[in-house]
Amino acid sequence: MGSNGYISYVKEERARAIAIANITHEVDQLDSLYRRRILNDKSEEPTTETPQTKPFLYLNTAATETGPRESVRLEGKKRFNRGLFIIDIRHMPAGCGIWPAFWLTDEANWPVNGEIDIVEGVNFQSEAKTALHTTKGCNMYDVPEGTMTGIWDTAVGIPDRKTGIPDMTFREAKNCYVYDPHQWINQGCVAIDADGDSLGAPLNEKGGGIFALEWDPIYGHIRTWVFSPHTTVPENLVAAIRTAGEESDEGRVMPNPEEWPLPYGNFPIGDSTDCRGTKFRNMRLVLNTALCGSVAGNRFFMDCKNESKIFKTCNEYIKSQPEALSEAYWKIRGVFVYQRQWQKAWLH
């Protein structure tokens, strides 16, 4: 769904010319840590291994004379109907008016083919969350106890669509239907990381983290994790990421979510659940940074207390080119996608 953001997405040539999209090669400070963990080396002696540079993707925004900033939206070409999606983030956009997202969608057929938000935050939000958006007939009221560590988003004060009177009934956002009358429009079903400090500025202060989403129609679930700081990444995932570049299958370690801790979000899907698996299909990955718009902009007065005392709207704030927008950049070590073959492990 469109963000109505105060931005102009530009093509690759323009993005490179104004330096808001580039790939750098740097020494990965976490590489030696990962190596020690794989080898179970608990010594604190300096490693003799020669540091190797690794590619990092940087995405930023740039000011314009007219006001809306130029930004980048990366769209994958491959379509997915299942998969294990992993992103290693070292820094993500954060702050007032900022709306970054890493998500799965088929926008031409939205919401018929669904939407899965893997990483998304607006303004100063600091808890990782996963949201599913669908047509009518998909809810999470049947999630078994003890299958997730997170909590559900809430929906309180929803205006009655006939009278406009707010309904103060406390509800958990467990209905994925984008027009559910008892939730905010397009709220969807939303699981939130209960530990917090796993998104935005707190995540950046810890050096980033790894987000993983398992979309598995065969086993009937969508599950999601966040590991931050990187010292909390499970051994199997450490090994999978470090060996993902190996040319042969024999040299790669395959990720196995069954060896990881419980996910913070668990969404049962399939014919035996309250959400048919066909609600999610033919989706591609999108990575973008929007500004203001239908979410970050609408929450401007609620979230940006200090900024809203000076600026009448989120757009005016962005147009002023505040120094805080220097934090509106992605630094990504890698995106890793695996797909399960029938009754087999995840394959890179």
Can you give the residue ranges of every domain in the chain? 7-347
* Res 342: pLDDT: 58
- Per-residue pLDDT, averaged over 252-266, amounts to 96
Residue environment code for 134-169, b if the CB has 16+ CB neighbours within 10 A, otherwise e = beeebbbeebeeeebbbbbbebeebeeeeeeeeeee
- What positions carry a catalytic annotation? 115, 120
Candidates 2.20.70.10, 2.60.120.200, 1.10.40.30, 3.90.245.10; CATH matching 7-347: 2.60.120.200
Burial 30-39 (b: 16+ CB within 10 A, else e): bbeebebbee
This prediction has a pTM of 0.93
Per-residue pLDDT reduced to its tens digit, 303-340: 999 999 999 999 999 999 999 999 999 999 999 999 87
176 confidence band (pLDDT: 50, 70, 90): very high
Q: Which residue has the higher pLDDT, 129 or 35?
A: 129
Question: HSE on the CB side for 22, CA within 13 Å?
Answer: 8
